[in-house]
Chains A and B, each alone.
Chain A
Amino acid sequence: MTNPVLWLVQRISGAILAVVLVIHIWVMHFSTESGKIDFNTAMQRLSQPYWKWLYGIFLFFVLLHGMAGFRLFLFDYGFSKKKRSLISALIILLGAALLYIGLKILFFVS
């Protein structure tokens, strides 16, 4: 039902996310001077290329891990082969849609 590559992707992306998520929470909550994020701070961050690219990669791993996990969660129910293929296709679509939205947010300035 599941396959070994996806299993490995799940573990590796999970490990990466565990580290990057701590950094993300730190940056979002503790590193702004006044403690408040507003439009200007956000735009300032978005104007730096390295920020956009790092967050793009972060988002990619989040969606990999999340979509793979979501698929496993659904498969625990025990669907037939045809339904599993349909579910996999829908989840890939969902991942692509979320990635598109995320990248649009990150790169809309340039």
Chain B
Amino acid sequence: MINNFISYLRNILNYKWYRPGMFAWIVQRLTGLGLVLFIAMHLSSLRKITLSPEAFNHLMETYRSPLFKLAEIGLLAGVIFHAFNGARITTMDLGLASKKQKRFFWMFFGAALLAFAAGVLPIVLEVFK
């Protein structure tokens, strides 16, 4: 069973994982999985608000520690890639730009980078206050 899984992973990585289409396919699933895990963690830790004010405030304090800020930047990157790639997939599902897929990918990737820069700026500025 493990061998099947390893050969499954090998098959995926064998096919041009560095090219836009395959790369987007892989990273969409990785970020999606990461986001599902994040949601589970986010909900289970926010439950602390039902316990006591101290527990919740302590949680908010840990959210401001450097490690969490770094993780937050990673989260932002993951969400932005997943969202923009999803938009790209949906436009292609609707039959638009099917002849210009690679160009489309780079358009969306560029827009995603802009959005990421816009989002990460406040976080970084907050650190250097």
Could you tell me which A residues sit within 8 Å of B by CB distance?
11, 14-15, 17-18, 21, 25, 29-30, 35-40, 42-43, 46, 62-63, 66-67, 69-70, 73, 76-78, 98, 101-102, 104-105, 108
Contacts and interface: CB of A to CB of B under 8 A. Distances in A.
A42 B46 CA distance: 11
A7 B23 CA distance: 22
Contacts, number: 69
B81 to A, nearest CB: 13
Interface in B33-86: 33, 35-36, 39-40, 43-44, 46-47, 49-50, 53, 56-57, 60, 64, 79, 83, 86
A76 B32 CA distance: 14
A14 B33 contact: no
B43 A98 contact: yes
B119 interface: yes
A81 B45 CA distance: 35
Interface of B: 5, 8, 29, 32-33, 35-36, 39-40, 43-44, 46-47, 49-50, 53, 56-57, 60, 64, 79, 83, 86-87, 90, 93, 119, 122-123, 126
B43 A101 contact: yes
10 contacts: A11-B90, A14-B83, A14-B86, A21-B79, A29-B123, A37-B60, A38-B56, A42-B49, A43-B49, A73-B29
A42 B56 contact: yes
